[in-house]
C-alpha cells in the first residue's frame, strides 16, 4: 500500500528528477489536510456500524426491490452480505483518505470484485448508490465536526463507484 508521499517520491525517483514546484504543492496540500483526514477517519471508526446500517436503510428505501423476494438483498444472509460489503467500502475508504492514495482500494477491495459481482449477478447501480449514500453521510458528519473542506472525502468513494461501474453486467 502506498501513500501520497511514497507515490510521489517513487515517481520522481524513477524519473531521476528533483521534486519540482508541482510536487511541493502536492505535498503541501496533502500535509495541510492531514489533520482533517485523521479526524474524519476517527469519526468513521467511531460511527462505522451506524453509517453502514443507516446507508443500507436509505438504499433500501430508494431501491426497495432489493429486499423483496427475488431481490439481491432478500433473505437475511444476502441482506447481511450487502451491509458487510458496505462496511468494507467504508473501512477501506477511510484508509485511502488517510493515505491520500487509492492503491489500497485496488489491492484490498476492487481486485477480483468485478468477477465476483458478475458471477453472483449483483446489480451495480444500487451498489454505487449505496457507496454514494455513505459518502454523503460521511461528508455531513465531517462538516458537523467542523471540517471545512471535505472534498478529500469524495476521492475514495468516487473511485470505488467508478471502478465498480465499469463492470459489464
Give the residue extent of every domain in the chain. 1-32, 34-165
pLDDT at 167: 47
C-alpha cell at 81: 452480505
Instruction: Tell me what pLDDT residue 166 has.
Output: 66
Does residue 169 carry a pLDDT above 60? Answer: no
Quickly count: other Cβ atoms within 10 Å of residue 11's Cβ. Answer: 11
pTM: 0.90
Domain 34-165 top-level CATH class: mainly alpha
Task: Report the first-to-last Cα separation within the chain, whole angstroms.
Answer: 29
CA–CA separation, 158 and 132 (whole Å): 8
Short-list 73, 69, 63, CA closest to 122 = 73
Closest CA to 126 of 34, 81, 62, 76: 62
- Contacts for 109-115: CB closer than 8 Å, 24+ residues apart: 109/160, 110/160, 110/163, 110/164, 113/163, 113/164, 114/164, 114/166, 114/167
pLDDT digits (tens, 9 = 90+) for 97-137: 999 999 999 999 998 887 788 788 888 899 999 999 999 99
Extract the C-alpha cell encoding 41.
477517519
d(CA 96, CA 71): 31
- CA distances 160 to 96, 122, 154, Å, are 11, 15, 10
Amino acid at each position: 500500500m502506498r501513500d501520497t508521499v511514497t507515490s510521489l517520491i517513487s515517481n520522481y525517483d524513477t524519473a531521476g528528477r528533483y521534486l519540482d514546484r508541482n510536487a511541493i504543492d502536492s505535498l503541501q496540500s496533502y500535509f495541510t489536510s492531514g489533520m482533517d483526514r485523521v479526524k474524519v477517519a476517527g469519526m468513521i471508526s467511531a460511527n462505522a456500524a451506524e453509517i453502514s446500517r443507516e446507508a443500507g436503510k436509505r438504499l433500501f428505501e430508494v431501491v426497495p426491490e432489493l429486499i423483496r423476494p427475488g431481490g439481491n438483498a432478500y433473505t437475511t444472509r444476502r441482506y447481511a452480505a450487502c451491509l458487510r460489503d458496505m462496511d468494507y467500502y467504508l473501512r477501506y475508504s477511510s484508509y485511502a483518505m488517510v493515505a491520500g492514495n487509492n492503491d489500497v482500494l485496488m489491492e484490498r477491495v476492487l481486485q477480483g470484485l468485478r468477477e465476483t459481482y458478475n458471477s453472483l449477478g449483483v446489480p451495480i447501480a444500487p451498489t454505487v448508490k449505496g457507496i454514494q449514500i455513505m459518502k454523503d453521510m460521511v461528508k455531513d458528519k465531517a462538516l458537523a465536526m467542523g471540517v471545512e473542506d471535505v472534498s478529500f472525502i469524495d476521492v475514495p468513494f468516487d473511485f470505488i463507484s467508478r471502478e465498480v461501474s465499469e463492470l459489464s453486467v
